[in-house]
Every structure is written in C-alpha cells, then in structure tokens.
Amino acid sequence: MTHPASHPPFFATTRWTLVCDAAQGGDTRAVAALGDLFATYWQPLYRYARRLGKSREDAEDLVQGFFTHLIEQCALRDTDRNKGRFRAFLLASFNHWIINSWKHASRQKRGGGIAPLSFDWHSAETGLKLEVADERSPDRLFDREWALTLLEKVLGELEAACRAEGGAAQFDQLKPCLTADSSRIPYAELAAGLGLSEGAARVAVHRLRKRYRAFLTAEIARTLASPAAVEEEMRALFAVLAE
C-alpha cells in the first residue's frame, strides 16, 4: 500500500479543530486540509461500518456521504468534541451519521459541491476478518485500526523524507531500530551493513529515531485539539495496540 506522502504537512494549520472551523467558514484551503485528514483516516471508519454488518456498497456510501456531511456539520455538532480527539469525534459523528442515514433510509447525495475523494476501497477490505469472532468491540477495533493507520502514515512520511535525502537503503536497514530498545541495537552490524563507521551508524539511528518521534508527535497533535494531550493520546494508542 503506497501512501500519498506528497502532501506537504503544514503543521501550523492542520490541527483538526481549527481546520474544521475554517472549512465551515468556506475556506477552500481548509476544506482541502480536512480532506487530507479524512483521506488519512477514512479506512478505519469504512472497516468499522463493515464490521457493523453493512454491505460494501452501503459502507462506501456511508463513508463518502459522511465526509460531505462532515464538512458541512463538523463545527456544529458535539460542542465539546469529545475532549478534543479527532479519533473519538470521528467515530461518534459517524455513529450519528449511520443512525440518521438508517432513519431516512435514503442515500445521501454524493458530493455536495465537493469532489468525492478517490478511495482505494479494495485495500480497505484487506484483512477485514468479518467472519472471525473477535471478542473486541468494533469501537476497540476502530481505535486499533486508527492507530495502525496513523503509524502507517507517519512511517510513510518518514520513509519519504529519508528517500528524499537519498537514504532509501539506509532507511530500510535502520527502521528495525525504531522498535528496539537502545541497548539492543546492533550498531556494529548496522554499520557493517551500511558501510559506515559505528559512530556514524549511531548518529544515523539517533537521527532516524528523533525524526520519527517528531513526525509521530506532529501527526498525533494534528488529531487533537490541544498539543498538551499528545503524550496521553500516545499512551492511549499504545494501550490499544498492546491489547
């Protein structure tokens, strides 16, 4: 799965609450930014809908319609915005949306002046183990997939950034260090593999880890109302993944 890493992250204005407010006001750049956010995180929603028993077509319609709805409505609904988490907000709004769509039993008009996002629906089906009885609730699964999506995006950006610097091979060799305890990193081996000195390998690993943290923090911050809660959100995501 390739990732659209071409979107330049503009950290200052991508905080989702601000983006939503701005999009509500009709700012086209903000609409694009919201689209970008949504493009990143629609998959967990789609899979959530599938897990609730929706057919492919219904799930596609729900997600596509929800996006339109989001742009129109997000600033109005859930004033406390679930303590500022885009993740929780998105799921809560989506649940509302599903119920409403059900009530009206009518398919939402696609678009609404906004070009539909082109989604890779097929890839969203991959590994969707609908038949497997999973004791975890769809909510927890949504959170888990959210976390995976987020990491996917962060690592995609990280890889793109590394490739841009010409260190594609280096990224491939060094990326296992992102999960390893510092004491367990075989610097000498890495250095030999990369044709660097051990000292240089250490620095490269350190840089990569630092960069990864920066990207991760930025991405998480994007989905929060307040950057102060990054640590807390990170713990929450870790808890979900470590289950």
Partner 1 sequence: MTAPIAPPLCPDCGTPLPPESPQALCPACLLRQALASRTLVADSGDPPPLPPPTPEEMADKFPQFEITSCLGRGGMGVVYKARQKSLNRWVAIKILRQDRVGEEKFAERFAREAQTLARLNHPNIVTVFDYGETAGLFYIVMEFVDGVNLRDLLRDGKLAPKQALAIVPPICEALQYAHDKGIVHRDIKPENLLLDRDGRIKIADFGIAALVGAGGEAAGTPPYMAPEQAGTAAEIDHRADIYALGVVLYEMLTGERPTKDVVAPSRKVQLDVRIDEMVLKALDKTPELRYQTAGEFRRVVETLAGSAAEPPAATPPPVPPPLVAAQAAAANPDAAIKAAAIAMMIVSGLSSVVLIFGSLIAGGMILFVRDRVVSVGSLPRWASMIPVSNHGTMILSHAALMSLMVLWIVVVLLGQVVPFLAGVQMSRLRHYRFAIAGAVVMIVLGLTGGVLQTPGAPGFAGTWALVELGVGIWALVVVLRPGTKALFAATARPVSPREQLAVTAADPADARQWVAAPAIGLMVASGLNLLLAGGLVLALVMLTLLRAGPFPASPPSGGMVPAAGLLSLPLVALVFVGLPALLTFIGAWRMRRLKGYGLAVTAAILAIITPPGLLVGLAFGIWALMVLARPDVQAAFQREQSRATGRGCLLAGFALLGVLVLAILVIIGLRLLLPHHRTASFSPATPQVHPQNSPTPLSGQVIERSLALNTDGTSDLLDPRSGEVTPAPTPAQWTIPGLFIHRDAALVETMLTGANGALAQESRADQWDHLSNTQALATLRASSSSQGMTIGAVGHGDLPQTFLFKTLTGEIGILQVLRFSDNPRSVTFRYKWVEDAAGQPASKPAEAIR
Binding site for partner 1 (CB under 8 A): 1, 123, 126-127, 145, 147-148, 151-152, 154-156, 159, 175-176, 178-181, 183-184, 188, 196-200, 202-203, 206-207, 209-210, 212-213, 216-217, 231, 234-235, 237-238, 241-242
Q: Which is nearer to partner 1, 140 or 206 (CB)?
A: 206
Q: Report CA Rg, the chain.
A: 20
Q: Which is nearer to partner 1, 77 or 175 (CB)?
A: 175
* Separation between Cα atoms, residue 157 and residue 179, nearest integer Å: 17
Token code pair at residue 76: 């109005």
In the complex, minimum distance from the CB of residue 75 to partner 1, in angstroms, rounded to a whole number: 30
**Whole-angstrom Cα distance, residue 67 to residue 35?**
8
**117 vs 148, which CB is nearer to partner 1?**
148
6 burial (CB, 10 Å; 0-12 / 13-18 / 19+) is exposed
The two tokens of residue 149 are 């999506």
Angstrom distance (rounded) from CA 197 to CA 153:
31
Q: Give 183-212 as a 3 state SS string.
A: HHCCHHHHHHHHCCCHHHHHHHHHHHHHHH
The CB-of-37 to partner 1 minimum distance in angstroms stands at 18
CA 42 – CA 121 distance, rounded (Å): 10
Taking the least distance from each CB to partner 1, the nearer of 49 and 237 is 237
Q: Which is nearer to partner 1, 23 or 49 (CB)?
A: 49
Minimum CB distance to partner 1, residue 212 (Å): 7
Q: How far is the CB of 88 from partner 1 (least distance, A)?
A: 18
CB 77 within 8 A of CB 119: no
CB of 29 to partner 1, least distance (A): 28
